[in-house]
A and B are shown apart, each in its own frame.
Chain A
Amino acid sequence: EVQLVESGGGLVQPGGSLRLSCVASGFTLSSFEMNWVRQAPGKGLEWISYISSVDDSEHYADSVKGRFTISRDSAKNSLNLQMNSLRPEDTAVYYCARVEFGHSLGQPYWYLDLWGRGTLVSVSS
């Protein structure tokens, strides 16, 4: 079955660190562009990080730049998110999402075609 499963969430104090993992099944994760997306309680979804399938280049939302690092582990077929200097406003459910790319009638498209079920991160003292 093609799926993504996140893990690594939990309760952490402000200033602490956590490492999230997203394990892929049914496909080779390194062949796809991937994203981390989060949803704070009662809020909408927020894109936070992206990694390229071509050169592993990375992009981050301003809200996490300099604190979070996205990476891949090909041996484990997984995507990781190292989160440092955590703040209460980082409290959210964190999802990994796969990017699908293609063309239709000559027009390229990109979208998030596969999502995990999320892992909850709570930052509180």
Chain B
Amino acid sequence: QTAVTQEPSFSVSPGGTVTLTCGLSSGSVSTSHSPSWYQQTPGQAPRTLIYGTDIRYSGVPDRFSGSVLGNKAALTITGAQADDESDYLCVLYMGSGIWMFGGGTKLTVL
């Protein structure tokens, strides 16, 4: 059964740049999957960051950007800040009402 893959954890230094990826265990992620990215802190509902591969949600700082790199979707944080330390979730739309969620990446800023 196909699964959405994300790095379980990642570290970045304050002010640094990090790219989190989102792939499929079988096949490639493309823009047709309409990749979206969410930030989630413990006990809170997810907050939308990026949708439609690379569209920044209203109010999201421009240090967050989305893309497709090779066969994966990617979320890049440029100039990471301490309050970017969080879980990041990738979601793919498979069509016909079917959605797939990645397991999330826990980002540490240190």
Q: Show the binding face of A for B, using Cβ within 8 Å.
A: 33, 35, 37, 43-47, 50-52, 57-59, 95, 100, 102, 104, 107-113, 115-118
Interface centre among A45, A46, A111, A118 (most CB of B within 10 A): A111
Contact A44 B97 (CB under 8 A): no
- New A-B contacts (17) at CB < 8 Å, excluding given A111-B93, A112-B36: A44-B103, A45-B40, A45-B46, A45-B104, A46-B101, A47-B91, A47-B100, A50-B98, A95-B45, A104-B52, A107-B53, A109-B51, A109-B52, A111-B52, A112-B48, A112-B99, A117-B44
Name the A residues within 8 Å of B97 (CB-CB). Answer: 33, 50-52, 57-59
A-B contact count (CB 8 A): 68
Q: Is B81 an interface residue (CB 8 A)?
A: no
Contact A107 B48 (CB under 8 A): no
Min C-beta distance of B4 to chain A, whole Å: 9
Q: Are A111 and B91 in contact (CB under 8 A)?
A: yes
Q: Contacts A33-B97, A37-B101, A47-B100; is A111 near B31 (CB within 8 Å)?
A: no
- Given A108-B34, A111-B91, is A44 in contact with B45 using a C-beta cutoff of 8 Å? no
> Count the B residues whose beta carbon is within 8 Å of the partner chain — how many?
26
Q: For B46, give the chain A residue with the smallest CB separation.
A: A115
Q: Is the CB of A44 within 8 A of B89?
A: yes
User: B96 within 8 Å of A by Cβ?
Assistant: yes
What is the bound-complex CA distance between A57 and B38, given in angstroms?
26
Chain B residues lying within 8 Å of A50, measured Cβ to Cβ, are: 97-99
Minimum CB–CB distance for B100 against chain A, Å: 7
